[in-house]
DNA sequence: CGTATCTATTGACAAACATCAATTGAACTG
DNA sequence: CAGTTCAATTGATGTTTGTCAATAGATACG
């Protein structure tokens, strides 16, 4: 997953004639690309997209017991998806007694969102 | 990858007391979530984020021979990443003689971008 | 204390992924 | 036509993913 994104010299074209525009390079830094990739990867599942959607629209903390019945997967699978989102920094959670409440950390989406726009 | 996102009745809480706000539901449709997940997943790798960045900033078609030397991975690996982006509809390609030119399909990013904002 | 409930973790497994070396296919060059 | 070059594909390998059933941990209730 960790990759060298360093700009290296341009490949030579066969007969010296350039194959295209002189030099092309990324504007995003390596670390930036990696941060955004982590977030994008965490969003790369329809269940997790929907989870984030629910949590964002609700604008508060939502109990896991509310989330589980929204999907046709087992409780442990949903817990796994929530963990993925937590690990990517997209959501955070809080326990209150028996229940666990999840909420979105909006800042986590900002960089990717800005880059996409 | 294909999942039932249907809203099902709310789980009962232990003693009848609700564990949280009455009902929470997703605003995104199932198909929408799946489309966005495909795009997000395709962006879930730093090399592919950087590829899209380069192609977007260049605002034209970029030769693969320009892209390969930007990364510290083999030509076949880069080809694989470009294929992933193509399969997600994010980029498209065109051959001209020996060379292949890639360019971004901006519409492919719109839905996810709009949802994130 | 014992039992019930909610959520997280573990273990298992098949599918998908990232990567490379090697090969193939297409197209240009001489 | 023979050789060269660019890019895609194939095959191989180790890692990660999504899923479930089962279990464990924590907390509440009686």
The 10s digit of each residue's pLDDT in A64-92 is 999 999 999 999 999 999 999 999 999 99
What pLDDT, in 10s, does the model give residues B51-98?
Answer: 999 999 987 899 999 999 999 999 999 999 999 999 999 999 999 999
Question: CATH number of the domain that A50 lies in?
Answer: 1.10.10.10
Residue A101 lies in a domain: yes
Distance from CA of A57 to the nearest CA of B (A): 8
- Distance separating alpha carbons of residues B92 and B77, to the nearest angstrom: 17
Residue A18, domain member (yes or no) = no
Sorting pLDDT into bands at 50, 70 and 90, what band is A3? very low
3-state helix, strand, coil in chain B (%, to 5): 50, 10, 40
Whether A67 is in a domain gets the answer yes
Instruction: Identify which has the larger pLDDT, A107 or A26.
Output: A107
B76 sits within 7 Å of strand D by its CB: yes
CA atoms of B19 and B22, how far apart (whole Å): 9
Instruction: Decide if B54 is inside a domain.
Output: yes
Quick check: B37 CB within 7 A of strand D? Answer: no
pLDDT at B102 over 70: yes
Whether A16 is in a domain gets the answer no
This prediction's pTM? 0.86
- Whether B23 is covered by a domain: the verdict is no
Tally of domains within chain B:
1
Using an 8 Å Cβ cutoff, are B64 and B82 in contact?
yes
Could you give the percent of chain B with pLDDT greater than 70? 80
How many whole angstroms separate alpha carbon B65 and alpha carbon A105?
Answer: 40
Domain enclosing residue A96, as ranges: 30-116
**Within-domain flag for B12:** no
CB A52 within 8 A of CB A82: no
- Judge whether B97 lies within some domain: yes
The partner residue sitting opposite B34, judged by closest CB among A1, A30, A46, is: A46
List the alpha helices (DSSP H) in B43-117. 46-58, 64-67, 75-87, 107-116
């Amino acid at each position: 997953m960790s990759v060298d994104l360093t700009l290296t010299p341009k490949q030579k074209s066969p007969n010296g004639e350039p194959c295209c525009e002189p030099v092309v390079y990324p504007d995003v830094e390596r670390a930036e690309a990696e941060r955004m990739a982590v977030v994008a990867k965490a969003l790369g599942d329809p269940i997790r997209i929907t989870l984030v959607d629910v949590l964002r629209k609700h604008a508060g903390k939502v109990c896991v017991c509310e989330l589980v019945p929204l999907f046709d997967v087992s409780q442990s699978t949903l817990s796994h998806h929530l963990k993925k989102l937590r690990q990517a920094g997209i959501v955070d959670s809080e326990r209150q007694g028996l229940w666990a409440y999840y909420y979105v950390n909006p800042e986590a989406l900002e960089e990717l969102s800005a880059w996409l726009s």
